[in-house]
Structure 1
Amino acid sequence: MPRTPALPPDALIPGSPKRRTILKAGGTLLLSVVAPLTASAAQIMAVRVWPADEYTRVTLENDGELKTTHFMVPDPPRLVVDIDGLALNDTLKSLVAKIESNDPYIKQVRVGQNRPNVVRLVFDLKEEVKPQVFNLAPIAGYHHRLIFDLYPVKPVDPLASMIAKENWTTDAAPATPTPAVQPGEPTVGQAGPDAIAKLEADAARAGSTPAQPQPTTPQPAQPHAPAKAAPGQKVARMVTIALDPGHGGEDPGATGTTGVHEKDIVLAVAKRLKAKLEDLPNTRVMLTRDADFFVPLGQRVEKARKVQADLFVSIHADAFVEPTARGSSVFVLSEKGASSSAARWLAADQNKADLIGGVNLASHDRQLASVLMDLSQTAQINDSMKLGKAVLTEIGGINRLHRGVVEQAGFAVLKAPDIPSILVETAFISNPEEEARLKDDAYQNQLADAITKGIKRYFAYNPPLAKSRMT
């Protein structure tokens, strides 16, 4: 057995130079051991839970990146997570009270100090899940975030979910929703050669002399009776429209001066619009999100493709550095760059959604991404432009237009290669006057009416064709 070297005879004498040297060395060694332990003790600053049918997200916001290990335990199903270098505090303990009884996947959560410097979370589950656990770097006012996304083992199918939530008829009906056309305008399937030119002229007039909106009391949509086909009339297929309320969950979008979030405004508008569209014959609507949760940009597009949508309408509310900016806008995808510097800025800002909302890059579908990034989709852009002009014309009747033309930019959410797609910026939430209108029920109802009329106008000139199943 090796012997420990003996200390020099004067090492313990007070004031001895050798004693001071040994004490200094010992202190340095102690600090080198304690300092890393102290520095690694992260603190949880906020906890958030976002339950939804598609998945439940749990977010731990903290002052440093956390290291975790996790595993599943069956019978009953549980997710166990150990977090290294974390001190248990009251904020983390508050996670227990944030689990709601209607959460589809989490029954309850238990939080405790498993061992020194390690906190254990145990999620008691209502069913087996496929968890994704990942870290997000600081961005957009957030600190470091540790994310737990709990997905069902069998993913929610958008088409099955859409059909299950509603009771549409498949009885015979007119070939398209009856458009609100003016005298002299072509009827469905009979668009004249100058139809698009007329839309452009209408949009220009709407941009220069917008009508003043008249407050209306929103009326709940009444279920419509199935329309029967007349003898010999061709039976119509169902028209499917995908509505995409922007942002959600961890991504609040823009915030107005009174603290209202874009994600809440656009969801309210989308729900009103859904009710109005579904009051039309033979029309069904899919919302990319129907509650306050985050949906990555690519998944929004993929949902629309899975339900074989005929149209895709993304709804947003502008924000700009200057509070004087105002007006509504409609955008479509561009193959050749943005149509203005403002459009380029807005597209870049909206395309940050995945960074802010948080996407697990390890599970990102690269094949899907390559499909969605394919810009050789001239036909889609042409149809999108027609839809955009029709909607812009109607919106110009209730609000000032930021510009009197449909703009183009590289919005990621508009890159479905086979669906006419537009992005509607309803108003500037950063403008106090427009923020007040966006919060008003009557104005939200007017917006939904205007977009509905625009879609009907589009179908008047572009009746939906029979389509084969998308791949």
Structure 2
Amino acid sequence: MRLRGIHIEQILLAAMLLAALCWNLANASEIRQLRIETGATGTRAELQLDKAGAYKLIPLSNPERLAVDFPDSQLARGLAMPAAAGMVKAVRTGQPVPGTVRVVFDLAGAVKAIPTTIETAGTGYTLVLEWPGDRAPRMTAAVPSVPAKQEAAKPESASALPPASDPIAQIASQPMPAVAGTDASTRSPAPAPSPASDTLQPAPLPPPPRLPMQSGMRPLVVAIDAGHGGQDPGAHGLNGTREKDVTLAIARELARQINATPGLKAYLTRDSDVFIPLNLRARRASANKADIFLSIHADAAENRGARGSSVYVLSTRGASSQRARWLADKENAADVIGGERVRAADNTLTSVLLDLTQSGNMKASEDAAEHVLGGLKRVGNNHKPDVERANFAVLRTSDKMPAMLVETAFISNPDEEKRLTDPAFQRTLASAILDGVDRYFARQPPPGTLYAARAQANQSAQVTQAPAGMTGIGGAGGSP
């Protein structure tokens, strides 16, 4: 009888183990597709899964690799590995422990991946990995590249793919990678020499010192808001181009160039095709301690010949033109398309409070917008020669930082629609916007930043190297 009892227990235990195995197989996530592509923003890898699950990133060196472990997962039958592209030399899969799928990306260099994002769709989830600035086409001359030592990658802790995950929140919780690049603040051309005269002219001062980031300095955070997204496609071009896709591509390229500029760091309010209510975009930027807010859009008009770029800032006292008022009304309707309720500030008390909270930043926003408009003027024709003003909802909650809305070009113009989808033109636009941001911070550097240290060093150099008999700029000088 005892032997029979032991036999029954073994059968029950085996049945339980089999049931557990079947349950794990039934609930394991499946990796259905692997894709790699390269473009202006770098190399992008997409891993498509049928359901939510955990994952872990494991950076490895000598040689450079990035391993991604998926516990309780399996590969789809017949899954093919993608060909090498950009930064990725090869892709392999393995099983370090039973039930865990490991995907290994062999890399061409030590470039830290941008924090992962998760894109959701009706067919499942897509884990996105991006390596910035690698094997991408060279930028325009406005942003030359200077090689420097890359930052070493560190292992990341295990993450999860919850069904209601917020890709933007995940980006905000992780630091953006520091990518070596250009000292953009020294790009300004030297002033032309004054005409010859009978008086002795002082020798020209050397260029300001190129200071690197040092301990204790904080990077200036540039918040980039790609307009529209998700169920709000924005404007459409005649050939079917959607504004939400164009703005995301330009925003990603601008973020890449910003992260390649010492002293600056980019924050994207969205880095995937998701809808974010207008009143949350600048608030997310503020939560990530942004120093400036740029909302990127593509203009549209009934006149198919309209072309060029424009820059707008917030106005609580009416629009600067009928065109600006119409554009603000069009952009403010995005929340209606996205299913959000629009709460208009139409009573006197609300309008007064809004005006008070924004008044301190109006001048800073106008100054920054003038610099960005100037950068856009240097690369092409502007639709509006001056900064315009209107009551844009996306700018109303930006009371802690300078903010502007940039209409890059007209998607309703067939020629400009084609250019907006061209990576080279996207790089040019991003470079022009970055040039304006760089010039603004160089002239008004916040304390504790690399820009402030450069300004201080430049001022000290001018005083130290002033000719004998001169007390400095604006000081009294002796006879030559």
Structure 2 length normalisation: TM-score?
0.52
Aligned residue among 258, 267, 275 for 1:294? 275
Aligned residue among 99, 103, 114 for 2:123? 99
Aligned residue among 238, 243, 249 for 1:262? 243
Letter in 2 for 1:178: S
Letter in 1 for 2:124: E
**Residue 387 (structure 1) aligned with residue 376 (structure 2):** no
Deviations 1:185-213 (A, max 9, x none): 9xxxxxxxxxxxxxxxxxxxxxxxxxxxx
**Residue 312 (structure 1) aligned with residue 264 (structure 2):** no
| C-alpha displacement of 1:455 | 0.6
- Measured in 2, the distance between the counterparts of 1:310 and 1:295 equals 20
Q: Secondary structure at the match of 2:240?
A: coil
Match of 1:162 in 2: 172
Letter in 2 for 1:326: R
Aligned residues: 277
| C-alpha displacement of 1:166 | 2.8
Deviations 1:45-87 (A, max 9, x none): xxxxxxx9xxx9xxxxxxxxxxxxxxxxxxxxxxxxxxxxxxx
Please tell me whether the aligned partners of residues 216 and 448 of structure 2 are also in contact (alpha carbons under 8 angstroms): no
Match of 2:190 in 1: 183
Please tell me whether the aligned partners of residues 272 and 444 of structure 1 are also in contact (alpha carbons under 8 angstroms): yes
Please tell me whether the aligned partners of residues 314 and 391 of structure 2 are also in contact (alpha carbons under 8 angstroms): yes
Letter in 2 for 1:244: D
Structure possessing the higher radius of gyration over alpha carbons:
1
Aligned residue among 253, 266, 270 for 1:285? 266
Match of 2:383 in 1: 402
Aligned residue among 224, 227, 230 for 2:212? 227
- Residues 252, 383 of structure 1: alpha-carbon distance in 2 compared, 3 angstrom cutoff: same
Q: What is the aligned-residue identity percentage?
A: 39
Match of 1:455 in 2: 437
> RCO (CA 8 Å, sep 6+): is it higher in 1 or 2?
1
Deviations 1:356-384 (A, max 9, x none): 0122789x9xxxxx799722222211101
Please tell me whether the aligned partners of residues 314 and 390 of structure 2 are also in contact (alpha carbons under 8 angstroms): yes
Q: Secondary structure at the match of 2:172?
A: helix
Match of 2:415 in 1: 433
Please tell me whether the aligned partners of residues 168 and 268 of structure 2 are also in contact (alpha carbons under 8 angstroms): no
Letter in 2 for 1:285: A
Please tell me whether the aligned partners of residues 179 and 456 of structure 1 are also in contact (alpha carbons under 8 angstroms): no
- Measured in 1, the distance between the counterparts of 2:305 and 2:342 equals 38
List alignment gaps of at least 5 residues for structure 1: 1-51, 57-96, 105-125, 130-149, 186-225, 365-369
List alignment gaps of at least 5 residues for structure 2: 1-47, 53-120, 129-158, 193-210, 345-349, 450-480
RMSD: 3.6
- Residues 409, 164 of structure 1: alpha-carbon distance in 2 compared, 3 angstrom cutoff: same
- Residues 269, 101 of structure 1: alpha-carbon distance in 2 compared, 3 angstrom cutoff: closer
| C-alpha displacement of 1:236 | 2.3
- Measured in 2, the distance between the counterparts of 1:283 and 1:181 equals 17
Q: After TM superposition, list the pairs within 5 Å mapping 1:18-29 onto structure 2.
A: none
Please tell me whether the aligned partners of residues 310 and 419 of structure 1 are also in contact (alpha carbons under 8 angstroms): yes
- Residues 325, 361 of structure 1: alpha-carbon distance in 2 compared, 3 angstrom cutoff: closer
Q: Secondary structure at the match of 2:174?
A: helix
Match of 2:252 in 1: 271
- Measured in 2, the distance between the counterparts of 1:406 and 1:128 equals 43
Aligned residue among 332, 335, 351 for 1:351? 332
Q: Secondary structure at the match of 1:315?
A: strand
Aligned residue among 375, 378, 394 for 2:355? 375
- Residues 427, 167 of structure 1: alpha-carbon distance in 2 compared, 3 angstrom cutoff: closer
| C-alpha displacement of 1:395 | 0.5
- Measured in 2, the distance between the counterparts of 1:315 and 1:433 equals 19
- Residues 310, 128 of structure 1: alpha-carbon distance in 2 compared, 3 angstrom cutoff: closer
Match of 2:4 in 1: none
Match of 1:204 in 2: none
- Measured in 1, the distance between the counterparts of 2:160 and 2:173 equals 23
Letter in 1 for 2:240: G
- Measured in 1, the distance between the counterparts of 2:445 and 2:342 equals 40
- Measured in 2, the distance between the counterparts of 1:341 and 1:463 equals 35
- Measured in 2, the distance between the counterparts of 1:462 and 1:248 equals 33
| C-alpha displacement of 1:336 | 1.4
Please tell me whether the aligned partners of residues 372 and 417 of structure 1 are also in contact (alpha carbons under 8 angstroms): no
- Residues 372, 355 of structure 1: alpha-carbon distance in 2 compared, 3 angstrom cutoff: farther
- Measured in 1, the distance between the counterparts of 2:351 and 2:283 equals 10
Q: Secondary structure at the match of 2:252?
A: helix
Please tell me whether the aligned partners of residues 238 and 283 of structure 1 are also in contact (alpha carbons under 8 angstroms): yes
Match of 2:477 in 1: none
Deviations 1:256-298 (A, max 9, x none): 0000000000100000000000111132111110001101001
| C-alpha displacement of 1:128 | 11
Letter in 1 for 2:260: D
Deviations 1:137-174 (A, max 9, x none): xxxxxxxxxxxxx645xx7784x6335263349xxxx9
Q: Secondary structure at the match of 1:316?
A: strand
Q: Secondary structure at the match of 1:249?
A: coil
